[in-house]
Amino acid sequence: MSTRKRSTSLRLTTMLAGAASLTLAGCDDPGAGAQAGWDPNRGEQVEAFSYKSLEECKAANEVSDQQCDTSWATAQKDDQKNAPRYEARASCEDVYGAGNCVPRSEQGGGSFFTPLLTGFVIGRMLDGGGYRGTGLYRGNDGYYSTWGGRLGRDYGTGRTVITRESIDPPDVIRNAPPKVQTRTSVVSRGGFGGGRSYAHSGGFKGGFGG
């Protein structure tokens, strides 16, 4: 691959307890439905590349154009099937901000609101595992993958990081039916709700293209 240019991708930072690990505290994730107790922010961390568009990914030259295409397609698929779901627009906007949630419905009936797909994130898997991509959403306190993992910064290397499970979750999580969050469940989880429990602390700085 050609020499990596400094990306115009998302420049996201978070306060980390250690150079390569996210600090965890007490809030639920905004990801789609999965198994209670599963924590997308614990586990192996991988280098991540995040973009707000397919064109930005290709211009950055951090991964191949083919990988950009594949990851963007996966992000759209994951968004359609597993985007965070909320019973009411207000509950969704409490998490993702005013004007950032849209109505959706399922073929079998039932309607709900989901956040707008902000972009996508690509993780470099370790041990020759290649790359994996998924959708990305902007919450009120940072950026999250479709599966609830929060982007952070490894201050030791300056690289953006995310847990492997946040991009490539186990099948039991990937195949679990999405859960529609109610106002009560969102409030009880401190603002984030998706059926998976995790916690975080610290704040994000920066944003797209910074």
Mean pLDDT for the stretch of residues 165-180: 88
Residues near 179 by Cβ (< 8 Å), separated by ≥ 6? 32, 33, 34, 85, 194, 195
Mean pLDDT for the stretch of residues 56-65: 97
Model pLDDT for residues 92-109, shown as the tens digit of each residue: 999 999 999 999 987 777
Query: How many CB atoms sit inside 10 A of residue 189's CB?
Result: 19
Q: Residue 173 pLDDT > 60, yes or no?
A: yes
Model pLDDT for residues 182-191, shown as the tens digit of each residue: 766 555 444 4
d(C-alpha 120, C-alpha 104), whole Å? 20
Helix (H) or strand (E) holding 119: strand 119-124
Higher pLDDT among residues 30 and 25, named by residue: 30
- The number of C-alpha atoms within 13 Å of 104 and in the hemisphere containing its C-beta is 19
What is the identity of the amino acid at 206? G
Q: How confident is the model at residue 200 (pLDDT cuts 50, 70, 90)?
A: very low
Rg (CA), the chain: 16
Query: How many CB atoms sit inside 10 A of residue 53's CB?
Result: 14
- The answer to whether the beta carbons of residues 14 and 204 sit under 8 Å apart is yes
pTM of the predicted model over 0.75 = no
Q: How confident is the model at residue 36 (pLDDT cuts 50, 70, 90)?
A: low
CA 96 to chain centre: 12
Q: What pLDDT does 115 receive?
A: 95
- The answer to whether the beta carbons of residues 198 and 24 sit under 8 Å apart is yes
Q: What percent of the chain has pLDDT over 70?
A: 69
